[in-house]
Amino acid sequence: MKVEKATKDQITRNVIVSLFIYILPIAAMFITFLITGQRPWEKKTQHLENTKTITSKNSQNNGSND
Amino acid sequence: MEATIDFIKTIIDNLNGIGFPFLVFFIGILEVTFGLYRNKWPKNERWVDISCFILPRLVIQPLVAYYSLHFLPFISPDAKNVFSWVPFFWGFAIIAVADDLTQYWYHRLHHQIPWLWRFHRTHHSASYMGMAMASRQNIIYTIFFSQIYLTAALVYLGLGIPAIAVRAIKSTITTLAHSSIPWDKPFYKYKVLHPIAWVLERLISTPATHHAHHAATTDDGVGHYKGNFGNMFFLWDILFGTALISRKYPSAYGISHYEGDQWTAQLLWPIFKSKVEGSELAPNGPVVRVEDDYEALARREANKEKKETVKQQSAAVPVLSNN
């Protein structure tokens, strides 16, 4: 049993539109960042760098909090 | 601030774990209380519904645990929490679209591609709507269900909170759309609520639009099993021209030619086949069986009612004679 041609064509058209819809919220997010000047990914990198100093392997006090 | 976020996260995590089965159980109790299953839940269908609710969970829970704890860290060890910087609002929007649009396609293709239909047929063979049939699916349909893996992957990538929030809202909407309690009726009845109804029925799945998808008939102005595929958002159906909004509820549900395939075949086809001759799940059955006409359907419904009346009368006779 085969898929009717009209159905096949409709699926193809709708899949192409869907690809744009998938991208839409991601594009909207970056456009908002561009307008507002926000760079939240940088905050995350900073946060990681800050937390790095308190690990036992790289801290001066050899892991002791005293 | 972090303590508050952790607290909210714990609540959402717990709700996500127990919330869905609780919601199904609570609405199920209400449906039974209102007598919505009276004469509509035969023994065979009970077995299908209960086995489809319990057995796939026993397979899928360990599978998802393996996928989250071993598979994802193995294929992409550096990707853990890589998107944790995405603000909640945008995370929610991205996931809501990605998750629900993927499910729309998964669902639509099972209706429009003939060889996929038999994996989804079990969900449509129920001649009633309600919590009993909401989880009724063939195990293969459930195992390949994109949402579970997508949510697990998004949690791994650091989008756990928005992913779980989307899942909680989506489960509520889809559960209520399957319910036999027509919560949307007042929106159509009272004129003052019509503007809200107009937005609601285009935005999300409602009992009226989703019941139409489960109707035994189509092209009669109410039933529309050839469309209304949306799960959380109905917007996809509007956008792709697969929607039918009638604000009415179908008079009959299910598949017009359904004759009660065994629960083993409905849950585990193609591993187990149906013994019902001519069924789509039978060894030599058709891939898609052409629907019976309305007259045949009406005849079958009338016969069913007749049988039930005779059964009730014969059950009542000994009681009367004892008195």
For B178-202, write each residue's pLDDT tens digit: 998 999 999 999 999 999 999 999 9
| A59 within domain boundaries | no
Q: Residue B304: which pLDDT band, with cuts at 50, 70 and 90?
A: low
Task: Please name the residue that has the structure tokens 């309305």.
Answer: B294
The nearest alpha carbon in chain B to A32 belongs to B90
pLDDT score recorded for residue B240: 98
Among A54-58, B74-78, B103-107, whose mean pLDDT is lowest?
Answer: A54-58
| Contact call for A44 and B85, based on CB within 8 A | yes
Q: How many helices (H) and strands (E) does chain A have?
A: 2, 0
Mean pLDDT, chain B, whole residue set: 84
Cis ω for the linkage preceding B318 (within 30 of 0): no
Q: What is the ipTM of this complex?
A: 0.78
Neighbours of A46 (CB within 10 A): 9
Name which of A3, A10, A21 is nearest B101 (Cβ-Cβ).
Answer: A21
Closest approach of chain B CAs to the CA of A30, in angstroms? 10
Higher pLDDT, B103 or B313: B103
CB pairs under 8 A between A and B: 47
Enter the tokens of residue A32: 């908002």
List of chain A residues whose C-beta atoms are within 8 Å of the C-beta of residue B112: 3, 7, 11
What are phi and psi for residue B37, nearest 5 degrees? -100, 0
Q: Residues, chain A, total? A: 66
Closest approach of chain B CAs to the CA of A17, in angstroms? 9
Closest approach of chain A CAs to the CA of B240, in angstroms? 6
CB burial class (10 A; 0-12, 13-18, 19+) of residue B136? buried
**Do the Cβ atoms of B64 and B149 come closer than 8 Å?**
yes
| A24 within domain boundaries | yes
| A12 within domain boundaries | yes
List of chain A residues whose C-beta atoms are within 8 Å of the C-beta of residue B157: none
Cα separation of B197 and B202, whole Å? Answer: 8
Does residue B290 belong to the interface with chain A, where contact is any CB pair within 8 Å?
Answer: no
**Do the Cβ atoms of B229 and B106 come closer than 8 Å?**
no
Higher pLDDT, B15 or B161: B161
**How many angstroms separate the Cα of B76 from the Cα of each of B70, B71, B98, B231?**
10, 8, 20, 31
Enter the tokens of residue B281: 């799940």
Range of the domain at A33: 5-38
Per-residue DSSP letter, B79: G
| A26 within domain boundaries | yes
pLDDT score recorded for residue B245: 97
- Using a cut of 0.90, tell me whether the model's pTM lies above it: no
**Do the Cβ atoms of B100 and B180 come closer than 8 Å?**
no
Among A25-34, B66-75, B151-160, B293-302, whose mean pLDDT is lowest?
Answer: B293-302
| A23 within domain boundaries | yes
| Contact call for B94 and A1, based on CB within 8 A | no
Q: How many domains does chain A have?
A: 1
Cα separation of B184 and B250, whole Å? Answer: 15
| A47 within domain boundaries | no
| A65 within domain boundaries | no
**How many angstroms separate the Cα of B55 from the Cα of each of A64, B47, B60, B253, B268?**
51, 11, 9, 25, 10
**Do the Cβ atoms of B230 and B104 come closer than 8 Å?**
yes
Whether B250 has a pLDDT exceeding 90, the answer reads: yes
Q: Residues, chain B, total? A: 323
**Do the Cβ atoms of B172 and B232 come closer than 8 Å?**
no
Q: At what angle do helices B88-112 and B146-156 cross, to 10 degrees?
A: 160
Query: For A63, what's the count of Cα atoms within 13 Å in the CB-facing half-sphere?
Result: 2
| Contact call for B240 and A28, based on CB within 8 A | no
| A27 within domain boundaries | yes
pLDDT score recorded for residue B164: 86
pLDDT score recorded for residue B24: 66
Whether B33 has a pLDDT exceeding 90, the answer reads: no
Does residue B93 belong to the interface with chain A, where contact is any CB pair within 8 Å?
Answer: yes
Q: Which residues of B247-273 are buried (b: 16+ CB within 10 A; e: fewer)?
A: bebbebbbbbbbebbbbbbbbbbeeeb
Cα separation of A53 and A64, whole Å? Answer: 13
Name which of B101, B112, B240 is nearest A22 (Cβ-Cβ).
Answer: B101
pLDDT score recorded for residue B110: 96
Q: Is A51 helix (H, G, I), strand (E, B) or coil?
A: helix
pLDDT score recorded for residue B196: 97
The nearest alpha carbon in chain B to A45 belongs to B85
Neighbours of B105 (CB within 10 A): 18
Name which of A7, A29, A41 is nearest B90 (Cβ-Cβ).
Answer: A29
Q: Is B84 helix (H, G, I), strand (E, B) or coil?
A: coil
Cα separation of B12 and B186, whole Å? Answer: 30
Does residue A35 belong to the interface with chain B, where contact is any CB pair within 8 Å?
Answer: no
